[in-house]
Amino acid sequence: MSVGEIRVEINSDQDIVIARQKGRVMAGELGFSSGDATLIATAISELARNIVSYARTGQIKLKGIHGSSRSGILVIASDDGPGIIDIRQALRDGFSTSGSLGLGLPGVRRLMDEFEINSQPGKGTMVAVKKWRQ
């Protein structure tokens, strides 16, 4: 079964719910356990929330990925927002500039298997995370 690619435009808090629901459905279609689908949906929720909180608009892309011996899901959150000045600081537990809990990015990194971030001040932010099927 092939699962294509889904894009969810993130413009409001309602879209956070839509993105995580689509992510859960796709994770299920890709054969993830219900527990892993919950971790993936939670990570998507946090990434989408960062978009709404910091950039206001952006998008979440969901994609099934297939390696030689394993398969998984790729989630890319991107926006053209203000970007992150100090990425190392943003990846530390407890750091936040929007008055939120500040657990977003380090938490997402713990929920997923692979984590990549690209951001420059004024040029937006791209976070790509992967989870492989157990």
Partner 1 sequence: MEVPILKQGAFLIATFQAALSDADLNQLRMGLVQQVVKFRSRAVIVDVTAMDVMDSFASRTLREIAHMIRLRGAETVIVGIQPEVAFAMVQLGLTLEGVATALDLEEGLAYLNERFRITK
**Is 46 a residue that touches partner 1 (CB under 8 A)?**
yes
Alpha carbon distance 118, 80 (integer Å): 12
Q: Give 94's DSSP letter.
A: T
**Is 20 a residue that touches partner 1 (CB under 8 A)?**
yes
**Is 24 a residue that touches partner 1 (CB under 8 A)?**
yes
Please, what is the minimum distance in Å from the beta carbon of residue 24 to partner 1? 7
- What tokens appear for 77 in the block? 């959150």
**Is 114 a residue that touches partner 1 (CB under 8 A)?**
no
Angle between helices 34-50 and 104-111 (to 10 degrees): 160
**Is 104 a residue that touches partner 1 (CB under 8 A)?**
yes
Alpha carbon distance 100, 64 (integer Å): 31
| Cβ-based neighbour number of residue 88 at 10 Å | 8
**Is 97 a residue that touches partner 1 (CB under 8 A)?**
no
> 6, 31, 107, 118: which one contacts partner 1 (CB under 8 A)?
107
**Is 55 a residue that touches partner 1 (CB under 8 A)?**
no
Residue-by-residue DSSP string for 52-81: IIIIS-EEEEEEEEE-SS-EEEEEEEEE-S
Stretch that binds partner 1, among 36-44, 64-72, 78-86, 121-129 (CB under 8 A): 36-44
- What tokens appear for 68 in the block? 């030689």
Positions that interact with partner 1 (CB under 8 A)? 13-14, 16-17, 20-21, 24, 34-35, 38-39, 41-42, 45-46, 49, 93, 100-101, 103-104, 106-108, 110-111
